[in-house]
Every structure is written in C-alpha cells, then in structure tokens.
C-alpha cells in the first residue's frame, strides 16, 4: 500500500501498480473516510488495484472546503485523485454521498469513468432523507458532535445489528467523536447533499451502472434507488432484504458478491 496527498486530499493505493490495469476507486458516504470500505478490500484486491481516499473536510484530508460546496466539488476531487495516480479512468464505487458524486462525475467528466456502482444514492432531494438530515442538523447544532455521533447508528444500521454490536459501536463512537470535522464543514457537506438534484439529466448517463440498495434502509428510501435504476439507460439493480443504510458493513458478503460480478461482467 502506498499513500499520497493531492490538493489536500489524502489517498491510498492498494495492490498497485496501476499502469495498464483496471482500477477501482472507492468513495465513501457522509463520514468521508476511506476506511469505511474495509469489508470490501479483500474481495476487490483479488482482482483489481483499489484506491481509497478521505473526502475533503474529513479524515486525513484538509478540513477546508471551497465556498458554496457542492457534490460537483466532490466529483472534481475524484478526478484530482485519479490525476495524481496517472489514471485515465477508473471504476467508481460510491456509497450515498460517494455514489451521488459518482453520478455527477458521469455528467461532468464522462471520459474519466468506466463502470459506476451507486450504493443507497439518489438523484433528487427526498422528503424522508431531508427529514433525517434535518434531525441530524438539529442534533449537531443544539447538542454537539457527541450527540450527533451517538445517534448515527440509528440511521445507518438495523436495530438487531446495533444490539449485537453494541461494544464495537461504543469503541467506534469514541474514535468518530475524536476525529469529527468542524461543525461548519459537516453542515456544508450535508447541505451539498440536500441540494443535489440531477433528476432531469439521468438519461445523459450512458455508462454501465449498478444501483445497489437495501430494503430496510432507514436513511435513504429504496424507492430512490429504484428510481435511479428505472431512469438510467444502462443500469442493473441489486436490492438486499436486510442490512440498513450501511449494508456494505452489516452484510458485506452479499454486497461483495454482486459488486464483483458486476465489475467483472461485460
């Protein structure tokens, strides 16, 4: 594994070198950390080099965001990471915010994208998503990062998984609180997601796309993924019955099987 920084973005290359090879770029959700993809790494590295990175404003990347931050900025940051590694294009796998950024990448930089996987993403603001984010904004503004982080598993995971993994979540909570971005950075990231709306342009995205969702997602209703799969010209649809918003963590075997099959396919 090698690492680097480009324009304040921390990235890691796993399983290189990349010259002449297909590469998978992983883009995380709102939390932004490349470490989110730990449950996928072994399955992917058997076949492809993998690039992870921390979103701007999170993790080991710079905590400064450009003015009027948008999902288009997130897509541009993927291009910067690819440029730093000399990648003409990459397969992009994005979770929620990362998936939305992948859709924006397909519109703004179509030549840089091979295949795209969107996990629990959306094409336009949804009333339920807005209600959830409004709640999280109030927690952050009225109570602080500790309350925000403590409530986070409720939005991400099924109740039975939370019960079984209480000790693990307690340890992760302390880690997330210690590394929590400045309040204004997190609010800007949330507002960028709430403003994201490419619904009228979905037919322009002609890349091969896998839309992956969980039927019990508490944050992003699966109907958002169903809409994407129905409107994109060249999309496959995978929906699991259980696992919540973070089913890449709670049921990685099921997700990884569909992911590898899609990336390996024609």
- DSSP for 185-230 reads HHHHHHHHHHH---GGGGGG--S-EEEEEETT-SSS-HHHHHHHHH
CATH superfamily of 2-264: Alpha/Beta hydrolase fold, catalytic domain (3.40.50.1820)
Summarize pLDDT for 62-91 with one digit per residue, the tens.
999 999 999 999 999 999 999 999 999 999
pLDDT at residue number 266: 82
pLDDT at residue number 260: 98
pLDDT at residue number 219: 98
pLDDT at residue number 138: 98
Estimate the crossing angle of helix 127-142 against helix 183-195, to 10 degrees.
170
What is the pTM for the complete model shown? 0.98
Enumerate residue ranges in the chain where pLDDT < 70: none
3-state secondary structure (DSSP) of residue 80: helix
C-alpha 247/C-alpha 229 separation (Å) is: 18
Q: Of 175, 123, 133, which Cα lies nearest the Cα of 150?
A: 175
């Amino acid at each position: 594994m090698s690492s680097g920084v480009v324009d304040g973005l921390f990235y890691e290359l796993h399983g290189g070198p990349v010259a002449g090879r297909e590469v998978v770029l992983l883009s995380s959700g709102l939390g932004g950390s490349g470490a989110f993809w730990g449950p996928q790494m072994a399955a992917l590295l058997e076949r492809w080099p993998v690039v992870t990175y921390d979103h701007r404003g999170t993790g080991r990347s710079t905590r400064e965001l450009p003015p009027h931050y948008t999902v288009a900025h997130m897509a541009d940051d993927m291009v910067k990471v690819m440029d730093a590694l000399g990648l003409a294009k990459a397969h992009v796998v994005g979770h929620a915010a990362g998936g939305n950024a992948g859709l924006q990448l397909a519109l703004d930089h179509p030549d840089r994208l091979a295949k795209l996987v969107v996990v629990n993403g959306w094409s336009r603001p949804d009333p339920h998503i807005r209600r959830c984010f409004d709640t999280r904004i109030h927690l952050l503004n009225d109570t602080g990062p500790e309350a925000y982080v403590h409530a986070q598993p409720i939005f991400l995971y099924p109740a039975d998984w939370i019960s079984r993994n209480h000790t693990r979540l307690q340890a992760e909570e302390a880690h997330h609180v210690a590394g929590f971005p400045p309040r204004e950075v997190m609010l800007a990231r949330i507002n960028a997601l709430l403003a994201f709306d490419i619904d009228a342009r979905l037919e322009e995205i002609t890349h091969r796309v896998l839309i992956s969702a969980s039927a019990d997602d508490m944050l992003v209703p699966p109907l958002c993924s169903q809409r994407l799969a129905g409107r994109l010209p060249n999309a496959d649809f995978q929906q699991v019955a259980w696992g919540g918003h973070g089913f890449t963590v709670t049921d990685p075997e099921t997700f990884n099987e569909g992911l590898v099959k899609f990336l390996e396919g024609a």
